[in-house]
Chains A and B, each alone.
Chain A
Amino acid sequence: MLKKIDEVKTPKDLAALVGVMHAAGAGPAFAFDSGQDAKDATQVIGIVSQGGLGLPERDYYVKPDEKMKEVTKKYVAHVERTLVLAGEKPADAARHAPRIYALEYDLATASMPAADLRDPQKTYHRIDRAGLIKAAPRFVWSEYFDKVGGGGVTALNVQQPEFFVASIA
C-alpha cells in the first residue's frame, strides 16, 4: 500500500487509491458505506459521508480553547513521528505533519457539527451519484467507485453535501 501511495501522480490516481484504501478498511478523506434508505426501507443504498479526520471529531480542530490547542500540538508531533516510523526522512516528516493537519483542518471546518449529525433530516440528501459528481466535480468519482467495489452504484445518500463542496470539490 505504501508503494501505491508513492505512485499517486494524478487526481485520478488519488481517487482510485482512496477507493482502494476504503475497500481495505482505512478511512481517508470521507466515508462510504451501504445502508437502508431512511425514506424507503425496501432499498439498500450507498451512503457517502464526511470523514477523514485523525482526531476524534470536528471540535478538536475548530474549538478555540487551550485544551484543544494543546491536543493539536501533540497530534502534529505524533503525525510527524508516525511518518518517520513509516519510512519518511525526518525533514520530510517535519514538513508534511503540519500540512496533513492543515488538510484535516479543512475537512473539519467543512464538516457538519456533531449535534446536527443527530438530525436525520439534515443528513438525508438523495442527490445520488450524479448529484455527488456535480457537487464535487474535481474528484474522479468513477475511479473511486470502481476501486471501492461500487462501480454500478448510483443510488446514494450524500449525508453532508456541503462537506464535499467545501473540501474535495
Chain B
Amino acid sequence: MMSESACGVADKKACKVTKGFPLDDWRAYLRYHYVSSVSRSLSKRDSLDRESFSYEAELLRRRVSAAALRDENDLIERTAPSTASARPSSRSGSGVRAPVVERKPLVTLHAFLSATPHADSLIKRSRATRTRAAGRERRDAAAADLSKYSDQTNLGAALIRPARSIRW
C-alpha cells in the first residue's frame, strides 16, 4: 500500500516534480481551474443576482440537447436556482417576470460549458458583483467608524460618499 507523501498525495512521484510539468498536467490543471471558476461564478455563494442567474439557467435549459440531459450532475443541481427565485425584478421596476426556471432536467457541466458560448463572461460578472459588494461593505464600515466622532460625522459622510452623489 502506498503511504502518503509530504504533500498528502499517495503518488510520491507527483510531489517531487518542481519544474517542467508536462503539458498534459497543465491542460488538466487549466481545465479544472476553468470549470471551477465558472462553477463558482454560477453558485449563490458569489452573490450573482437571482434575476441574472435565472436568465442563465433558462438559456442553459434551452440550448442543451435532450441527449445531454442527465441527472448525475449534482454540481449544477446545487447551483441551480429554485423556482422561488423567478420573481419579478425588484430593480428594473418593469414588472416583467423573469422566466420560470424548472429545477429539472439537469445537464452535465460539460454540456453546459459547451453549449453556452458566454460562459466565460459569467466569471467576470460574478467578480464585478463581489467587488461592488466589498466596496459597499468598506464604505459602510468607514461610515460606522467616522460616526463615532460627532464633530466629524458630516465631513466624513461627505468624503466617503461617491463623488457624484455629494450634495453641497
Interface residues of A (CB under 8 A from B): 1-2, 5-6, 8-11, 14, 17-18, 21, 24-28, 52, 54, 61, 64, 68-69, 72-73, 76, 79, 82-83, 85-88, 92, 96, 98-106, 166-167, 169
Contacts and interface: CB of A to CB of B under 8 A. Distances in A.
A85 B18 contact: no
A140 B72 CA distance: 40
A105 B29 contact: no
Contact of B39 (A10, A18, A28, A82): A82
B82 interface: no
B116 to A, nearest CB: 11
Contact of A26 (B7, B21, B33): B33
A69 B9 CA distance: 9
B34 A88 contact: no
B75 interface: yes
Interface stretch (B83-91, B92-100, B106-114, B150-158): B106-114
A103 B11 contact: no
Contacts of B120: 1, 24-25
Interface of B: 4, 6-11, 14-15, 17-19, 21, 23-37, 39, 41, 73, 75, 108-110, 113-114, 119-121, 123-124, 126-127
A3 to B, nearest CB: 8
Q: Is the interface of B mostly helix, strand, loop or mixed?
A: helix
Contacts of B36: 54, 82
A98 B35 contact: no
A14 B14 CA distance: 21
Given A24-B124, A100-B25, A2 B31 contact: yes
B31 to A, nearest CB: 5
Given A1-B119, A27-B37, A82-B32, A61 B7 contact: yes
A69 to B, nearest CB: 5
Contacts of B7: 61, 72, 101-102, 105
Contacts of B31: 2, 5, 83, 86, 88
A5 B109 contact: no
Given A24-B124, A169-B19, A100 B37 contact: no
Nearest to B40: A26
B7 to A, nearest CB: 4
Nearest to A100: B29
A103 B127 contact: no
Nearest to A110: B18
A123 B26 CA distance: 27
A68 B26 contact: no
Given A8-B30, A25-B120, A72 B110 contact: no
B9 A76 contact: yes
B18 A73 contact: no
